[in-house]
Amino acid sequence: MKNDKLVDVLHSTAAGLHKAGAMDLTMREFDALCLPPVQNYDAEQIKGIRLRFKVSQAVFAAYLNTTPSSIQQWERGITHSSGMALKLRNLVDSKGLRQAPHRPLTFQ
């Protein structure tokens, strides 16, 4: 939580500097600089994240809006994710499953 407060203070300070004309960056550029780097995960790390939250591959796939087959392939190191799936996995790793958008489970 300390980091969240620090980011809020930095953002507020940057907004004040921008408003006063003392900062060359736009606020959009400043916000982009504040984004955390996206970490790549190997197969073991992906499985470790899933097991840490005690969910099956199917449930993990639902949280990440992908297929259980994709989860299996990531955990075996057969394929590697990129883009949105990689960003979502970073979010789940740092914030937990409750922070990930998920679709409701449907049974057919």
* HEC per residue, the chain: CHHHHHHHHHHHHHHHHHHCCCCCCCHHHHHHHCCCCCCCCCHHHHHHHHHHCCCCHHHHHHHCCCCHHHHHHHHHCCCCCCHHHHHHHHHHHHHCHHHCCCCCCCCC
Residue 108 domain-assigned (yes or no)? no
Residue 29 domain-assigned (yes or no)? yes
Q: Say yes or no: 28 and 57 in one domain.
A: no
pTM for this predicted structure: 0.62
Q: Say yes or no: 52 and 23 in one domain.
A: no
Q: Say yes or no: 62 and 81 in one domain.
A: yes
pLDDT digits (tens, 9 = 90+) for 24-81: 888 888 778 877 788 888 999 999 999 998 999 999 998 888 899 999 999 999 998 7
Residue 105 domain-assigned (yes or no)? no
Residue 26, φ and ψ in degrees, nearest 5? -80, 165
What is the domain range of residue 16? 2-33
Domain total in the chain:
2
pLDDT digits (tens, 9 = 90+) for 52-65: 989 999 999 988 88
Residue 103 has a pLDDT of 53
The Cα–Cα gap between 94 and 88 comes to 10
Residue 25 has a pLDDT of 83
